[in-house]
């Protein structure tokens, strides 16, 4: 199944990175890719956007606040609207 998605996404010009919040698969790689960037995470309601953000922000093995690369600066709220101008 993942190989089918991998092929499809590559044919569209994307470089997919598969990850799982439940198994933690790929989260370290994703965190490294996203480091020092502004990133938008979108998708339909219930797909796990908030779970992914929380998993990336919470590093249970880290006790240093400075180790959190995912600073919520500028984040006012998570919006599930379709056509809106959320601020």
Domain boundaries of the chain, sorted by first residue: 2-67
Q: Report residue 35 as tokens.
A: 């480091």
The predicted structure's pLDDT at residue 10: 95
The stretch 59-85 carries a mean pLDDT of 51
**Residue of higher predicted confidence among 42 and 4:** 4
62 pLDDT more than 90: no
Which helix or strand (DSSP H or E) is residue 42 part of? none
User: How do residues 16-55 score in pLDDT, each as one tens digit?
Assistant: 999 999 999 999 999 999 888 888 888 899 999 888 988 9
Closest by alpha carbon to 23, among 51, 61, 62? 51
């Amino acid at each position: 199944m993942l190989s089918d998605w991998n092929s499809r996404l590559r044919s569209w010009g994307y470089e997919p990175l598969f990850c799982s919040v439940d198994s933690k698969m790929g989260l370290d790689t994703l965190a490294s890719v996203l480091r020092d960037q502004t990133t938008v995470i979108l998708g339909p309601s219930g797909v796990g956007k908030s779970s992914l953000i929380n998993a990336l922000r919470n590093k249970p093995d880290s006790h240093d606040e400075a180790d959190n690369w995912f600073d919520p600066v500028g984040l006012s709220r998570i919006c599930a609207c379709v056509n809106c101008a959320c601020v």
